[in-house]
Amino acid sequence: MEDKRGLANLLHNKSFWTRAVTGISICAVLALIFILGYTIMLCVLGILSLMGLWELFHAENLLWKPFAVTAFIADILYFVLIRFYDRPYIALYMVFLFAIFAITDIIIYVLHYNEYSLNDIFTSFFGVFYVGVTLSFLYLTRVHPWGAYLVWLAIFSSWGSDVCAYLVGMLIGKHRVFPAISPKKTREGCIGGIIGAGVLAFIYALCVKDYILDLNGEIIIFPIVCMAGAVIGMFGDLFASAIKRKAGIKDYSSLLPGHGGILDRFDSVILVSPVIYVITILVRLLQGVS
């Protein structure tokens, strides 16, 4: 099969333009959500997590089993609790929630031992953490001081890196990496994605340095964070692709033209979000903010 790479082929690639238009639209909507923040952002992320869970369970043939129902309920309750993240004992309530979730799945499995596999329980429990809990870190980053600025690091590390990797890979990519999981991913594209995330973060730091954390002497922090996040995001992308390979599907759904489903688009964001949140906390500690 002919390898259609290069600028001319890229510009004449219909799927590229479909992907670009959809991507720009998603970014515009996400920007509005980030700006509004708080309850609206939490509700949107909660809906996205439910949609992501639906796609994951559909791929794993779990959708119409009781374990999917318990996972959906646990995911909804988790996002309700996150809204009160700063209240006393909220962490204890979350532990209690997931304990009840696990116990319920165990009881269902025991009562219907011959109908379900142990993998159904693992997928149910893992799905809530993999999709719901990880996405919630975007909200937790947003509600912290300077969160309106810092939350964008997750996007530069994931989608920014993804765009740069796609463009570099399409233009000069030759050496395949992880061909069994993602045949189109190349070494050149991966490197381009990491460097691209760093460049985007550096430009962004120059724009916001006067607004947060006295960043004038620490601009290099943002590129380092985003380049590290880009590496993690690529593994998130590969992991989501590995699940699809095992399930024998091309995309999780056809919801987003040129991209696939929610998990196809948010696969790297899922892994990057907790990392950006942890780094946000560390930066605040280093700055001596209580």
233-253 residue pLDDT tens: 999 999 999 999 888 888 888
Query: Which residue's structure tokens are 């780094």?
Result: 279
User: What string of H, E and C letters represents the secondary structure of 164-227?
Assistant: HHHHHHHHHCCCECCCCCCCCCEHHHHHHHHHHHHHHHHHHHHHHCCCCCCHHHCCCHHHHHHH
Query: Shortest CA distance to 162 belongs to which of 170, 12, 59, 30?
Result: 170
Tell how far CA 235 is from the center of its chain: 11
- Which token pair is 222? 């943002």
51-78 residue pLDDT tens: 999 999 999 999 889 999 999 999 999 9
Phi, psi of 84 (to 5 degrees): -110, 40
Classified as helix, coil or strand, 60 is coil
**Which whole-number Å values give the CA distances from 35 to 28, 204, 249, in the listed order?**
11, 16, 35
Q: What is the DSSP letter of 157?
A: I
Query: Percent of the chain having pLDDT more than 90?
Result: 41
103-157 residue pLDDT tens: 999 999 999 998 999 999 999 999 999 999 999 999 998 888 778 888 899 988 9
Alpha-carbon gap, residue 116 to 130, rounded angstroms: 21
